[in-house]
């Protein structure tokens, strides 16, 4: 690989890791701050992706839209719609115990995936949506840089917003609820409301991450929203980085993405008959990695500061 | 010293941060009934749990029948010859009465003759062999809990407030059963709120206050003390 | 919908219900004993289905003969997974086990794909001719699935009711501390819990593979209806999971006459959420 290629790869790497950081920060609100399980990250990610894809792509006859709107509108709408879906989900599931919430959110993601796959009029079904605008190159330098800048801005925005929320009375209330609820199952209208707010707040960033993903690749299809990739990888990132710690969430995203990408470089060197299996091998390693983290460093690289 | 059924020596421990037990010591030496009384929060139940390894012991030692059982696994303590009836959740609600006794005899691989002896001690259980324990009345449940514990054929039986949730007329009946259990050659260490009724049937009494044993005497002597109510209330 | 169509759907529902029940029992028992939702259960079933495939292709066994091999192999794998991973998290908060089992799900799924590849397989190629009774078509495979499931569940029932270990499992599910106090070596019960959960999982996986075809996502795809079965039946109660499995299976099949069959998993999900909200302890009361 020449220097230019290496630089491009580094930019792509940082962009993708940044997108994961946005999602991991969202999960850190739900899990790290509020103690709510969400194994349905892929669902909110998909909502964000498809929202911006439909709003910003060019009009086509076979499905709703596109509406050819500016990317920034797509990003904001992705956050809003993801938050709305989270509100509907959370409104129903807010009172559930952790283990039931885990199953319920898997179910939500599965339902969203079924909709994405089957409602052709909305999402173009299994063929996916091509032609999602990528950041234009004509008004400032080479386009990979702009995408990276946009993603970096989103990471900073997410970090600042979540840190501010964490330090506010609202954040302290979340912590208090989390610590209390670990023992007993407290009820109460205010607690349910606070938990719902955290769930919605976190989901907005998952939607934003999904939207950024759509604009990075310019094409999305239901394939990308299976449970392995976005949901599990983000969990590993947050746990490895240190759940409850926003810097940890960002660090974890980059470290795990480095490992994930690194294994891709290694598996690409395998003999050709095994390359097809490489994806499976990488997932297997990630599945083992999370066990190692849980056993040897359950608090993560940067533990939560209380 | 291996004649002693139980020796608790200067035990410290508790659930989370703070110690509830702050240097408790006592001894049970043979088939006798020893009653622990004391105010709420004195650590009586915690002491019972700590004997069975259900509460972390952070200082001191507990030995039973010559074995050190400090922070030991509960099933191994049962194997050593101790049985324990917690105050609440002391039967398996979804198992039948008969199956509850089988579980008590888990280590003995279901000795049918011994089970019949238990039914002889608690005849009202014999009529309810196939009934689920969860549907028993409070008094029957307490009988079953004691029966389950006796299935281990223990040398020492720990009872945590066996009469706590019972109607007054069942209290005497239950305490009389405990007398019968002693007659089988089993030592009994019990926590009891009905101090007078319990001490009247006991050999020795122990007053526990603030995580320590404050006083220890023959039950009759304790019972005769005019200041017993104050001791009991932690005065 | 004619009465024949209706009964036909009921038959299909009983077949998938039997499979959900086999998985749901394991989920329920594991929850009862270890107090966590075992998210790798679907993939454990898939693993079992592929073990049977290996036995069928290498030893040229019929499916029914490969079944016990798959059950024993999966039981051993389940015990090994518990020993290497889950056992370390017993003292940790329950969520750690949730995350760990989600990771194990991935490991099992990837292992299956690494060994057998991503493609589809069937146990026996060729078309089996259904029996026709009063216009109802009953496939021989379906009869085999339902009959074997009944046999396995009866054996499981006898185990729970009459053996020392079976009673200990129920006791531990009621109250682990009291079981320990009674002298039960709870770690040994845990080992047997995995053995039974794994064996039943393998049977469910083999039957689903027999009814459809093998692929690495075979039973991950039915994780939702299986959890729905366990929850509807009252989690921690294996008999409830049987009733729950049949209910979910039948309702899912009947729903296909009203809504797009692609949304079958969503039906299970809706029932599950409704039960969680309406009666979190299940229609038959469960462990809390």
Q: Give the domain ranges of chain B.
A: 6-233
**Per-residue pLDDT for B79 more than 50?**
yes
Q: What percent of chain B has pLDDT over 70?
A: 96
Residue A93 pLDDT greater than 90, yes or no:
no
The C-alpha of C119 sits at a distance from chain B's nearest C-alpha, in angstroms, of: 46
Evaluate if residue B24 carries a pLDDT over 70. yes
Nearest partner of B98 among B147, B48, B167, B34, judged by Cα: B147
Task: Say whether A284 and C118 touch across the interface (CB within 8 A).
Answer: no
Residues of A in contact with C88 (CB under 8 A): 294-295
Per-residue H/E/C for chain A: CCHHHHHHHHHHHHHHHHHHHHHHHHHHHHHHHCCCCCCCHHHHHHHHHHHHHHHHCCCCCCCCCCCCCCHHHHHHHHHHHHHHHHHHHHHHHCCCCHHHHHHHHHHHHHHHHHHHHHCHHHHCHHHCECCCCCCCCCCCCCHHHHHHHHHHHHHHHHHHHHHHHHHCHHHHHHHHHHHHHCCCCCCCHHHHHHHHHHHHHHHHHHHHHHHHHHHHHCCECHHHHCHHHHHHHHHHHHHHHCCCCHHHHHHHHHHHHHHHHHHHHHHCCCCHHHHHHHHHHHHHHHHHHHHHHHHHCCCCCCCCCC
Q: How far apart are the C-alpha atoms of C252 and C222, rounded to whole Å?
A: 12
Residue A137 has pLDDT above 80, yes or no: no
Each residue's pLDDT expressed in tens, for chain C with a length of 288 residues: 788 889 999 999 999 999 999 999 999 999 999 999 999 999 999 999 999 999 999 999 999 999 999 999 999 999 999 999 999 998 888 789 999 999 999 999 999 999 998 889 999 877 778 888 888 888 999 999 999 999 999 999 999 999 999 999 999 999 999 999 999 999 999 999 999 999 999 999 999 999 999 999 999 999 999 999 999 998 888 899 999 999 999 999 999 998 998 898 899 999 998 888 887 777 665 444
pLDDT at position B232 over 70: no
Contact at CB, B104 and C175, closer than 8 angstroms: no
- The residue among B212, B230, B219, B214 whose CA lies nearest residue B188 is B219
What count of CB pairs under 8 Å joins B to C? 66
What is the C-alpha separation between B193 and B208, in angstroms, rounded? 12
Of B147 and A173, which is predicted with more confidence? B147
When computed from its CA atoms, the radius of gyration of chain A, rounded to whole angstroms, is 19
Cβ atoms B178, B171 nearer than 8 A: no
Close Cβ partners of A47 (under 8 Å, ≥ 6 residues apart)? A78, A81, A82, A85, A112, A207, A210
Helix (H, G, I), strand (E, B) or coil at B160: strand
Q: Does pLDDT of A188 surpass 80?
A: no
Q: Kindly report, residue by residue over C91-126, the tens digit of the pLDDT.
A: 888 789 999 999 999 999 999 999 998 889 999 877
**Distance, CA of A121 to CA of A142 (rounded, Å):** 35
Averaged pLDDT, B67-80: 91
pLDDT mean over B179-208: 91
Predicted pLDDT at B223:
87
Instruction: Quote the CA–CA distance of A139 and C42 in Å, as a whole number.
Output: 51
ipTM of the complex: 0.90
- B10, B157, B216 from B24: Cα distances, Å: 5, 19, 12
Render pLDDT for A216-227 as a digit per residue (tens, 0 to 9): 989 999 988 876
Interface test with A, best of C91, C95, C110, C256 (most A CBs within 10 A): C110
> Would you state the pLDDT for residue A53?
95
What is the average per-residue pLDDT within A189-208? 90
Provide the 10 A C-beta neighbour count for residue A303.
Answer: 15
DSSP labels, C76-129: HHHHHHHHHTGGGGTTS-HHHHHHHHHHHHHHHHHHHHHHH-SS-B-SS-SPPP
Q: Which fold has domain B6-233?
A: Rossmann fold (3.40.50)
What percent of chain A is modeled with pLDDT above 70? 93
pLDDT of residue B7: 94
Per the CB < 8 A criterion, the answer to whether A46 and A114 are in contact is no
**Chain C residues near residue A236 by CB distance under 8 angstroms:** 103
Q: Is the pLDDT of residue B1 over 50?
A: no
Contacts of B203 by beta carbon, 8 Å cutoff, 6+ apart: B32, B33, B34, B218, B219
Cβ pair A100, C276 in contact under 8 A: yes
Asked whether residue A183 carries a pLDDT value surpassing 90, the answer given is no
pLDDT at C287: 47
Residues C113 and C102: their CA atoms lie apart, in Å, by: 17
Query: In 3-state terms, what secondary structure has residue B131?
Result: coil
Q: What is the mean pLDDT of residues B200-229?
A: 88
How does residue A75 score in pLDDT terms, banded at 50, 70 and 90? Answer: very high
Average pLDDT value for residue range A75-100: 90
How far does the CA of residue A97 sit from the closest CA of chain C (Å)?
Answer: 10
Nearest CA-CA distance, residue B92 and chain C, Å = 6
CA distances from A79 to A123, A146, C107, C232 (A): 18, 21, 32, 34
Tokens 């990250």 sit on residue = A41
Domains, in order of start, for chain C: 3-278 (1.10.3470)
Percent residues over pLDDT 90 in chain B: 60
| Contact state of A106 with C223 under an 8 Å Cβ cutoff | yes
């Amino acid at each position: 690989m020449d220097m230019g290629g290496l630089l491009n790869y580094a930019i792509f790497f940082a962009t993708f890791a940044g997108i994961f950081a946005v999602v991991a920060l969202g999960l850190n609100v739900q899990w790290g701050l509020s103690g709510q399980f969400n194994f349905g990250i892929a669902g909110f990610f998909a909502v964000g992706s498809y929202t911006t894809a439909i709003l910003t792509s060019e009009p086509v006859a076979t499905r709703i839209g596109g509406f050819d709107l500016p990317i920034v509108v797509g990003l904001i709408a992705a956050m809003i719609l993801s938050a709305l879906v989270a509100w509907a989900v959370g409104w129903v599931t807010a009172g559930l115990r952790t283990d039931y919430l885990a199953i319920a959110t898997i179910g939500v993601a599965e339902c969203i995936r079924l909709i994405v796959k089957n409602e052709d009029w909305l999402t173009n079904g299994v063929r996916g949506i091509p032609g999602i605008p990528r950041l234009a190159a004509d008004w400032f330098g080479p386009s990979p840089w702009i995408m990276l800048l946009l993603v970096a801005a989103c990471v900073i925005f997410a970090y600042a917003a979540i840190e501010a929320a964490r330090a506010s009375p609202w954040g302290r209330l979340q912590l208090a609820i989390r610590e209390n609820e670990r023992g007993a199952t407290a009820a109460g209208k205010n607690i349910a409301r606070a938990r719902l707010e955290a769930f919605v707040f976190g989901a907005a960033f998952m939607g934003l991450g999904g939207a950024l993903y759509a604009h990075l690749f310019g094409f999305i299809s239901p394939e990308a929203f299976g449970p392995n990739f976005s949901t599990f990888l983000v969990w590993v990132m947050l746990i490895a980085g240190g759940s409850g710690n926003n810097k940890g969430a960002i660090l974890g995203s980059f470290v795990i993405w480095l490992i994930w990408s690194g294994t891709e470089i290694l598996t690409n060197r395998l003999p050709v008959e095994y390359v097809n299996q490489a994806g499976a091998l990488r997932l297997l390693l990630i599945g083992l990695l999370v066990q190692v983290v849980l056993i040897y460093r359950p608090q993560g690289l940067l533990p939560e500061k209380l | 010293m291996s004649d002693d059924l139980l020796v608790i020596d200067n035990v410290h421990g508790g659930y989370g941060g703070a110690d509830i037990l702050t240097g408790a010591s006592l001894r049970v030496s043979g088939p006798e009934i020893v009653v622990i009384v004391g105010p709420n929060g004195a650590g009586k139940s915690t002491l019972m749990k700590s004997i069975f390894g259900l509460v972390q012991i952070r200082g001191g030692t507990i030995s039973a029948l010559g074995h050190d059982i400090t922070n030991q696994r509960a099933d191994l303590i049962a194997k050593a010859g101790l049985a324990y009836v917690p105050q609440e959740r002391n039967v398996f609600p979804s198992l039948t009465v008969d199956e509850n006794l089988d579980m008590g005899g888990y280590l003995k691989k279901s000795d049918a003759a011994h089970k019949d002896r238990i039914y002889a001690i608690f005849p009202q259980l014999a009529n309810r062999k196939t009934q689920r324990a969860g549907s028993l009345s409070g008094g029957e449940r307490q009988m079953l809990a004691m029966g389950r514990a006796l299935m281990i054929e223990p040398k020492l039986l720990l009872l945590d407030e066996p009469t706590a949730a019972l109607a007054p007329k069942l209290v005497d009946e239950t305490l009389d059963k405990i007398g019968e259990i002693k007659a089988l050659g089993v030592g009994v260490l019990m926590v009891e709120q009905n101090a007078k009724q319990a001490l009247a049937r006991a050999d020795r009494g122990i007053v526990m206050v603030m995580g320590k044993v404050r006083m220890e005497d023959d039950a009759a002597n304790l019972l005769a003390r005019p200041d017993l109510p104050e001791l009991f209330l932690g005065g | 919908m004619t009465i024949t169509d209706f009964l036909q759907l009921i038959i299909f529902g009983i077949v998938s219900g039997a499979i959900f029940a086999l998985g749901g029992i394991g989920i329920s028992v594991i929850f009862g004993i270890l107090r966590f939702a075992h998210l790798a259960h679907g993939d454990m079933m898939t693993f079992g289905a592929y073990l049977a495939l290996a036995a069928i292709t290498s030893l040229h066994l019929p499916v029914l003969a490969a079944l016990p091999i798959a059950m024993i192999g999966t039981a051993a794998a389940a015990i090994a997974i518990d020993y290497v991973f889950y056992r370390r998290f017993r003292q940790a908060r329950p969520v750690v086990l949730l995350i760990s089992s989600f990771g194990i799900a991935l490991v099992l799924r990837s292992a299956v794909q690494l060994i057998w590849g991503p493609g589809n397989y069937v146990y026996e190629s060729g078309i089996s001719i259904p029996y026709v009774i009063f216009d109802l078509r009953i496939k021989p495979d379906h009869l085999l699935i339902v009959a074997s499931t009944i046999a396995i569940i009866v054996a499981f029932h006898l185990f729970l009711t009459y053996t020392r270990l079976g009673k200990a499992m129920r006791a531990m599910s009621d109250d682990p501390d009291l079981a320990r106090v009674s002298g039960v070596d709870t770690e040994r019960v845990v080992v047997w819990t995995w053995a039974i959960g794994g064996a039943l999982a393998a049977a469910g996986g083999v039957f689903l593979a027999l009814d459809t075809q093998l692929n690495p996502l075979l039973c991950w795809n039915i994780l939702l209806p299986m959890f729905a079965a366990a929850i509807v039946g009252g989690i921690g109660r294996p008999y409830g999971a049987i009733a729950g499995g049949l209910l979910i299976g039948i309702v899912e099949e009947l729903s296909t006459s009203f809504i797009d069959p692609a949304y079958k998993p969503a039906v299970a999900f809706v029932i599950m959420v409704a039960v969680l909200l309406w009666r979190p302890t299940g229609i038959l009361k469960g462990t809390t």
